[in-house]
Amino acid sequence: MANLNVKNNYKFIIVNVLFALFPLSFILGNLFINSNLVLFFIFVFYYYYKDLIKFKFNLFDKLITLFFVYTFFVLIVKFLETKFNAQSFNSLVLYKTFFYLRYYLLYISLRILLNQNLINFKYFFSSCAFFSIFVCIDIFFQYNFEKDIFGLKTPIASKLSGPFGDELIAGGFIQRFFLFSLFVPLVLKQKHLYKILIQLLLLSIFFLGIALSGNRMPLLLFLISILFFFVFSKELRKYLILIVLILSIAFSLLYYKNKTFNYNIGIAFVSVKNLIDVFYLKNITLEQSLAKKISPYTLEFYCFNYVWEKNIFLGGGVKSYQYSGGGGCNQHPHNYYFEILSDLGIFGFLIIATLFYFILFKTLKKYRFNFDNDSTNTIFPFFLVFFTEFFPIRTSGSFFSTGNAAFIFIILGLLVSLIDKPEKNDVSLDKKLRN
């Protein structure tokens, strides 16, 4: 861990405050995410440029660098294709490819800071806890008064958006950041039982917040995360039956007492059935899909295949999907893997798949599924968030959009740094949070 003089240094404080502000910027919107992101890597490069010069790339860094280089390669190839075929080149791909580079700078910034032990997890985890609870409270307020604390009404009756206005992503925000909140009780000077009770209380708040938001996939990923969280922790495993009982009772009460929750769960089963239709009815046309009134998200899985067949190997370029789809298709296929295949082709997908394979392989090899000892429990929340973020059947926003890309490369930067750290230098999360 950084020494006391470094921790009291204004440079250390500035970069950690900027990093801790990311959860807030996700609530405020893309303008604030981009502003926070740019300020963060400018300050990191300005203050720690000497560390950047000395920084040595590992296998993960090289794969991520290759991925960004590849996006420019695809851009050049597609540009030349249009010139040879006397076609107009879509400037959107050019614009998106160049500006997508900012996430690489974000990733490198985090790698530099973690390499020198210059990230104080207490700041970030406390921020995640505060804003996750805030979003839950805002959802509870909106549920009871039909408008949130700021007077914002939800755009549709079956879902609650909380502070996100017209964007129905409140459940997704909680699902992404709640895990980090569960580590905040570790810094409290309380008995172990009290810390467990606080974690159970937080879990109940987050579950209710996601459930009332109406976001079905975040609810599923939340439940998967909780199951893994308790199964892999020896300290919490003995409370697994209790938490399953609590969540089961809460789920049953919501299902039978809350018509909106009941409706959303029913829609989830219909979506699964429609998804099976799209995958197994091989000869189904786009018009037939529309006639069957398949839900928009499910329809995007069909549209993906339609777009991907045009550029199987190289793809169409960053964010090209949104102008390559046929009638009825949306701006992206609502699945990270499908979008990477359609925009960057098989070769781009293989780069990402290789990166993910080595992350999973090295993590499981190094820790052997034991995330409960002093040298490994730091990595667990980041590994679990990474796993749920790239859950294969997850419906999601665009892989290349501001909010998703920023979150993805924040997690990758932190996770790669923690995986790559020699075991002798690992420090327990409890000790890191107390420092």
Tell me the per-residue pLDDT of 163-181, one tens digit each, with 9 for 90 and over.
999 999 999 999 999 988 8
Query: What distance in Å separates the CA atoms of residue 159 and residue 153, rounded to the nearest whole number?
Result: 10
CA distance 173 to 219: 11
- Whether the per-residue pLDDT at 69 is higher than 80: the answer is yes
- Using the predicted structure, report yes or no on whether residue 90 has a pLDDT greater than 50: yes
> Looking at residue 376, what is its pLDDT?
47
pLDDT at residue 429 is higher than 80? no
Which residues are within 8 A (CB) of 330 and not within 5 positions of it... i.e. 6 or more apart? Answer: 296, 299, 300, 303, 322
Place of tokens 């470094």: 6
| 7-26 pLDDT per residue, tens | 558 899 999 999 999 999 99
Non-local (6+) Cβ contacts of 62 within 8 A are none
Over range 94-108, report the average pLDDT.
96
Q: What is the pTM of this model?
A: 0.89
Mean pLDDT to the nearest integer, 213-239: 84
C-alpha 417/C-alpha 376 separation (Å) is 13
Model confidence at 52, in pLDDT bands (50, 70, 90)? confident
Question: CA 419 to CA 212: how far, in whole Å?
Answer: 36
| Confidence at 287, pLDDT banded by 50, 70, 90 | low
| Per-residue confidence (pLDDT) for residue 100, from 0 to 100 | 97
- pLDDT over 90 for what percent of the chain? 48
Q: For 143-170, how does the pLDDT look when each residue is reduced to its tens digit (9 = 90+)? A: 999 899 999 898 888 899 999 999 999 9
Chain Cα centroid distance, residue 156: 24
Over range 184-192, report the average pLDDT: 61
CB 250 within 8 A of CB 204: yes
Average pLDDT over residues 38-52: 93
Nearest to 45 by CA among 18, 8, 24: 18
Question: C-alpha 153: how far from its chain's center?
Answer: 26
Half-sphere exposure of 284 (CA within 13 A, CB side): 22
- Of the candidates 379, 369, 366, 364, the one whose C-alpha atom is nearest the C-alpha of residue 232 is 369
Q: Is 135 exposed, middle or buried (0-12, 13-18, 19+ CB in 10 A)?
A: buried
Report whether 250 contacts 208 (CB < 8 A): yes
